[in-house]
Amino acid sequence: MIFKHRYASFVLSLLLAAAGSAHADPAQDKLAAAIAEVTPFSCVTESNVIINRQMSLMIPRAFLEGVATHLQKDASFAKGDKTYDQLYAVIREAVALDEASNGPYIDITMPRVLASLVARWGPEDQAYYTKFFASVPGKLYLTHIVDGALCMGLLQGVAEKPYPPLAGEDKVRWEALVKEKEVQKANFTATLRALSPADQKVFKEGYERLHKSFTDAVGRVGTPGPEFQQRFGAIVASRKPDIERIVRESR
């Protein structure tokens, strides 16, 4: 059956990772909320929107690669082929309905990232980071490293395979964000040197303590968990009669 084809697993293998995070206690919730207020995290927020739009395009294409293998189609089975276009439209519509009902497939928003991060801090860490993020070096870390370098990594990732090529408004916004972050990166050294020696030391220590844990937190919340398999199966099942009819008529 097409609907149990290995490309369901193919999509999952691209997307699945450790999902969610431990439930934070009230003190952790408060700390995460306070950190989230330090800066708007506009790059991360906009990147998340672009990533999800790319995801909604990637899912039908991945499914159709599975169909092509199942039906032993050659390279001509692509956009412009009647069967391909019909199947794409059917799955794309189902994906849109699923997103409208169940929300985005990826949720890289700073409240979720910070909740995942803070949930792994003990009392000593909480005391240290409360002080760090209230400082000028701490804010610099959030604006230039998290919403800067780390966000640039998200932008670069969404422009590569398996995502489809960026197009339209998403491409325009992506290019603007990349340009903005490149300017920010070019100015970072001067911004850091403008700090006092004491603040530079605070920044360096905070960076060394935080960098891997922040990257890991983004990884934990930045890909769908096992529930994606259920959603993918439901998407295909919801259009099974149409898919079978189109495939049957193509033979």
Q: For the chain, what are the domain ranges?
A: 2-250
Is residue 50 within 8 A of residue 173, CB to CB? The reply is yes
Q: Indicate the pLDDT class of residue 224, thresholds 50, 70 and 90.
A: low
DSSP 105: S
Rg (CA), the chain: 22
Backbone angles phi, psi at 73, to 5 degrees: -85, 150
Q: Two tokens at 16?
A: 């699945």
Is residue 184 within 8 A of residue 142, CB to CB? The reply is no
Measure the CA–CA gap between 172 and 77, rounded to whole angstroms. Answer: 29
Measure the CA–CA gap between 111 and 237, rounded to whole angstroms. Answer: 33
- In three-state secondary structure terms, 167 is coil
Is residue 207 within 8 A of residue 145, CB to CB? The reply is yes
Q: Indicate the pLDDT class of residue 175, thresholds 50, 70 and 90.
A: very high
How much of the chain, in percent, has pLDDT values that exceed 90? 68
pLDDT of residue 41: 95
Q: Which of 41-45, 172-176, 213-217 has the lowest mean pLDDT?
A: 213-217
**Helix axes of 227-238 and 240-250: crossing angle, nearest 10 degrees:** 60
Measure the CA–CA gap between 135 and 114, rounded to whole angstroms. Answer: 17
Is residue 78 within 8 A of residue 134, CB to CB? The reply is no
Average confidence score pLDDT of the chain: 87
- In three-state secondary structure terms, 184 is helix
- Over 80: is that where the pLDDT of 89 sits? yes
**pLDDT tens digit sequence for 52-65:** 999 999 999 989 99
